[in-house]
Structure 1
Amino acid sequence: MADYQKLLEVAKAAAIDAGEKIIEIYESGDFSVEAKSDDSPLTKADKASHHAIVGYLEQTGLPILSEEGSAVAYEERKDWDLFWMIDPLDGTKEFIKKNGEFTVNIALIAKNTPVMGVVYTPVLKDLFWAVKGEGAFKNGSQISVNDKNLSDPQLKVVASRSHLNEETEQFMSRLTDPEIVSKGSSLKLLMVAEGEADLYPRYAPTMEWDTAAAQILVEEAGGAVNIANSSIPVTYNKENLLNPYFLVKGKL
Structure 2
Amino acid sequence: MKLTTQDLNTLCATAIEAAKKAGELINSYTDKTLTIKNKKGADSLAAQVVTEVDVKAQDVILEVLAPTLTKYDLALLSEESVDDKSRFEKDYFWCIDPMDGTLAFTEKTPGYAVSIALVSKNGKSQIGVVFDPVTGILYNAVKGEGAFKNNQPWQPNLSFENNACFTLHMDRTFLNHPKFEFIKTEIQQFASDAGLSEFEIQKRAGGVLNAIWVLNNPGCYFKLPKPTPGGGSLWDFAATACIINEAKAYGKSFDGSPLDLNREDSCFMNHKGILYASNNQVATKVREIVNSFI
How far the C-alpha of 1:214 sits from its partner, in A, is 0.9
Q: Do structure 1's residue 7 and structure 2's residue 11 form an aligned pair?
A: yes
Correspondence 1:189-204 to 2 at 5 A: 189-193=211-215, 195-203=216-224
Distance 1:147 1:52 in 2: 39
Contact 2:159–2:218 (8 Å) recurs in 1: no
Distance 2:17 2:164 in 1: 41
Correspondence 1:77-226 to 2 at 5 A: 77-111=87-121, 112-141=123-152, 142-144=154-156, 146-148=158-160, 155-160=166-171, 163-164=174-175, 165-166=177-178, 168-177=180-189, 178=191, 179-182=199-202, 183-185=204-206, 186-193=208-215, 195-203=216-224, 205-226=231-252
Aligned counterpart for 1:67 among listed residues 54, 79, 84? 79
Contact 1:224–1:233 (8 Å) recurs in 2: no
CA deviation profile, 1:111-156 (whole Å, cap 9, x unmatched)? 211111000011211111011111111112313351249xx99632
TM-score by length of 2: 0.74
Partner SS, residue 242 of structure 1: coil
Tell me which amino acid in the other structure corresponds to 1:44: E
Partner SS, residue 28 of structure 2: helix
Contact 2:250–2:276 (8 Å) recurs in 1: yes
Identity within the alignment, %: 28
Q: Give the number of aligned pairs.
A: 241
Unaligned stretches of 5+ in structure 1?
A: none
Q: Which residue of 2 aligns with 1:232?
A: 257
Contact 1:153–1:175 (8 Å) recurs in 2: no
Distance 1:226 1:198 in 2: 15
Distance 1:166 1:221 in 2: 33
Inter-CA distance 121–154: structure 2 relative to 1 (3 Å threshold): closer
Contact 1:168–1:202 (8 Å) recurs in 2: no
Distance 2:10 2:139 in 1: 16
Distance 2:243 2:178 in 1: 28
CA deviation profile, 1:77-136 (whole Å, cap 9, x unmatched)? 322211100000100110111013210000000121111100001121111101111111
Q: Do structure 1's residue 247 and structure 2's residue 258 form an aligned pair?
A: no
Inter-CA distance 31–161: structure 2 relative to 1 (3 Å threshold): closer
Inter-CA distance 32–175: structure 2 relative to 1 (3 Å threshold): same
Aligned-pair RMSD on alpha carbons? 2.6
TM-score by length of 1: 0.85
Contact 1:65–1:85 (8 Å) recurs in 2: yes
Unaligned stretches of 5+ in structure 2?
A: 40-48, 192-198, 225-229, 282-294
Inter-CA distance 78–56: structure 2 relative to 1 (3 Å threshold): same
Contact 1:114–1:212 (8 Å) recurs in 2: yes
Q: Which residue of 2 aligns with 1:51?
A: 59
Partner SS, residue 143 of structure 1: coil
How far the C-alpha of 1:210 sits from its partner, in A, is 0.8
